[in-house]
Structure formats: structure tokens, C-alpha cells
Amino acid sequence: MLKTLFDIALRHLLGRRRQTLTTIFGVAVSTMVLITTISLTRGLLDSFIDTIVNVAPHITIKGEKLNPVPVNIINRAGETRVSMVEDNIRKQEKEEVRNYRQILGMFSSSLYEKEVTASSPYVESQVMAVKGNRNQPILLKGVIIDRENEISGIAGKIQQGDLSVFRNSSNALLVGRTVARDMHLELNDEVVIIPASGKSRQCKVAGIFFSGVNAVDNSVFVSLKLGQIIEGLPANKVSGIALKVRDPLNNTPLAREMERITGYKCPTWQEENASILSLFARIGYIVFSLVAFVGVVSGFGVANILVTTVFEKSRDIAIMKSFGFSALHLVAMFVLEGFLVGLAGALLGGVLAIGSINLFASIPVENSQGPLTKTGFSMSLNPIYFFYVIGVTVFISTISAILPSARAAKLEPVKVLRDSSL
């Protein structure tokens, strides 16, 4: 019986070939668009996480104390006492990590050497860079370049210049490509660095790098010693310490332990980029919800062709019921037609999606995708998205056939055959 129902369902679909092909193509296009959209949004998220994990520190020890001095220092003295403070206007203290070498030594101990794979102290300063008649505010970061290379792999990201020149010069600059483009900088150009203190320094461009992370490419690296001088820090103080850990996706427990031991705030890369990750999550929810809505539209197309089939094949349906086909058989036949149309369209859409994904990924155009700059679009070919969209599309197409099949099952053979208009 199943083979008979399948043959009849196939004949119905082939009998209205143009309408069937149009419906299949509509389902295919919607499937292709949905898979491509999900691939783009998820590919961007995967690319962002992969780039951040490879370039940015997994945990950052910042010069922000977890237990600052309380505002009300006599709150336990009783409500009857009053404290008065006069002439206590002072400059806000800098956020700094003191005695950073002791913390670095702790990471070399047997307790943490397997958990922390790299550590790099740094000093950050907001300065003004001047070249000729061009000037621009930039983030200047003083680092020990070999330690920084273990964190961000900066040596492999240098497009012009050489790290050896940077190591051997006390006033050398490693300039991000964005800064170099904005200020028209080339190798060996002289740049004047003006810090907040006002004492300017003459520096020379020793290299230009490109990491793909916009925030990093909009900064400049100098030696740690020069960074401390510019920021006005003594030799035993830095702005923070960047850490690379063994398990970057499960680093929260280690970060909380670092906070307890050092007394400084230690945010993870997930916490530093929480707003961006949250944005990607919301976009993902929106895209996945679109799957259902577009699937419903595809279902209407399938239902339309089946309603037309029921109307045109009423006499055939009446004859089938006269020969002993039950209402359940007729429902199964039309549901099978909806399944076949949905499956054919979804599979064709999956094939078209593979082509569109590869097309977008191969476009040699540099684009700034949120916090990243990449050549070509970041696309994901995860088969889960294909199975999800194809499965939802086939399911909705199959369910949408229930209404026309119920109508066919209710037809009365005697009444249909007596009606000469049919």
C-alpha cells in the first residue's frame, strides 16, 4: 500500500510540474538564505573567539585593587560621631601593579607553571603621536617584546620591519597598521611621542604589524622601560600583567584564584568582551527564530499546491475512496506529497548554500567585521546548521500538508461523483 500511495503522490506532483518546481525552488531559496545567514553569523563569532584567544591575553591582572579604602572609615564608631575632612583634594592614584616581578616568579613555580603558559607585564599610556603636521591620540603599550610575543604572536604579524631592530633600540616603535595608515607612517620614520606629562620623546618606527583585532592595530608598542618612563612609573611597577593559560575556555576559576592571591582585579577575555559576545548571542537567537518564520512561509507554498491538487483531483479522490482507500490512506498520501516537496527543496537549498558560503568566503575584499578586520567573510561550514535548517524546513512542509489532506479525507464519493461539474 505504501508503494501505491507513493506512486500516486508522485503522479500528482508531476502532473502539476511547473507549480511543483516553483514551490521546490521557493523552498530551496529560503533554505539557502537561512543556512548562509547562520553560517555568516556563526562564522563571525567563531572567527572572533579564535582571533581573541590567539592574540589577546586570556586573563589580565590589572592594577585595580579589589579592596580599596572605604569611603566611611568611622562607620563602626556609632551614629553620634561626625567626621570632617578639609583640604583633601588629591590627584587620583594610577592603577598599577606593584612588585610585578614577584607575581611573575609565582607563575614560574610548580603550582602554576602548567596552568599559566605565558605572562607579560605591560604599561599603558594615552599619548599624542606627532609626525610633521599630522597628530593623533594613540594607546602606547610598553612591553617586554619576547614575553609579548608569547601572548600575541606579534613576531608573526609584522608586515614591515624586524623585531631585532626593536630589541636593539631604546626608542623604537612597533606601530599598528591602522595607526600607520592614519598617520602615513613608513619604516624609520621619526615620530614625536607627547605624554600627559608634556615631556616629548623622539622615536623611530622599527616595524608595522597587523593582528586583525582593531583595538590592537590601533596601538603602538614600545619597550617596557620606555613605557614606564613615559607613564612615570618606577621600575617595580606596571599597569598590568597579561596571561596566557592552558585552557582559555575554562579560565574563570583560575582568574578568581589570581584575584584572591594578588589582590588585584583579574578579568578574563570573556569578561572583557562580554558586550560583544552578548551581541553575537542575540544575533544568533534572531537568526534561528527566522528559520521558523521562513519555514512557515515555505509551508504555505507547499499547502497551496496541495490545496490545488485536492480541488483538481476531487473525482480521483472519490474514486480512490470507492475502491477502498480509507481516510487515513488519503491523509498519508498528501502528507507524503508535502514531505517530498519539502525534502527536495531543502536538499536543493543545502547544495545552493554550500556554493553561496564558498562564494562569500572567497571574496578577496578586506572588511571590518565588528572588532575584527579580515580578508573575505568568515563563514562556518558546520553540518549541524545544515541538518537543523533542512530538518525544520522538511518538518514544516510535512505538517503544512495536514490541512489539505484532512479536506481530501472528508470528501464523500457519492456526492462528488453525482456533481457533474467535477
pLDDT score for 335: 76
Average pLDDT on 106-110 reads: 84
In this predicted structure, the answer to whether residue 91 has a pLDDT above a threshold of 60 is: no
Q: How far is CA 56 from CA 143, 169, 214, 220, 314, in A?
A: 14, 25, 12, 15, 68
Q: Collapse the DSSP code of 74 into the 3-class scheme (helix H, G, I; strand E, B; otherwise coil) and give the result.
A: coil
Cβ–Cβ < 8 Å for 382, 43: no
Average pLDDT on 103-108 reads: 86
pLDDT class of 418 with cuts at 50, 70, 90: low
Cβ–Cβ < 8 Å for 148, 221: yes
* Grid cell digits, residue 104: 611573575
pLDDT score for 351: 92
pLDDT score for 76: 47
pLDDT score for 262: 87
In this predicted structure, the answer to whether residue 71 has a pLDDT above a threshold of 60 is: no
Average pLDDT, the chain: 79
Q: DSSP labels for 130-186?
A: EETTEEEEEEEEEE-HHHHHHHH-GGGGEEEE-HHHHHT-TTEEEEEHHHHHHHT--
Tell me the percentage of the chain whose pLDDT exceeds 70: 73
Average pLDDT on 364-389 reads: 71
Determine which of 40-54, 210-224, 398-412 has the lowest per-residue pLDDT on average: 398-412
* Grid cell digits, residue 345: 527543496
pLDDT score for 422: 43
In this predicted structure, the answer to whether residue 300 has a pLDDT above a threshold of 90 is: no
Chain position carrying cell 620614520: 189
Q: DSSP label at 79?
A: T
Partners of residue 373 on adjacent β-strands:
368
Q: Which residue has the higher pLDDT, 349 or 419?
A: 349
pLDDT score for 348: 92
Closest CA to 266 of 122, 55, 66, 50: 66
How many CA atoms within 13 Å lie on the side-chain side of 226? 28
pLDDT class of 142 with cuts at 50, 70, 90: very high
pLDDT score for 73: 46
**pLDDT tens for each residue of 47-68:** 777 777 778 888 999 988 876 5
pLDDT score for 420: 46
Tell me the percentage of the chain whose pLDDT exceeds 90: 15
Average pLDDT on 142-148 reads: 91
In this predicted structure, the answer to whether residue 75 has a pLDDT above a threshold of 90 is: no
**pLDDT tens for each residue of 231-279:** 888 889 999 999 999 888 888 999 998 888 888 999 998 888 888 778 7
CA–CA dist 287, 290 (Å, integer): 5
Determine which of 156-160, 388-392, 401-405 has the lowest per-residue pLDDT on average: 401-405
Average pLDDT on 331-340 reads: 77
Q: What is the pTM of this model?
A: 0.68
pLDDT class of 362 with cuts at 50, 70, 90: confident
In this predicted structure, the answer to whether residue 82 has a pLDDT above a threshold of 60 is: no
Long-range contacts of 8-15 (CB under 8 A, 24+ apart): 8/320, 8/333, 9/333, 9/334, 9/336, 9/337, 9/340, 10/340, 12/309, 12/313, 12/337, 13/337, 13/340, 13/341
Closest CA to 209 of 242, 161, 146, 250: 161
CA–CA dist 375, 392 (Å, integer): 33
Closest CA to 241 of 123, 132, 125: 123
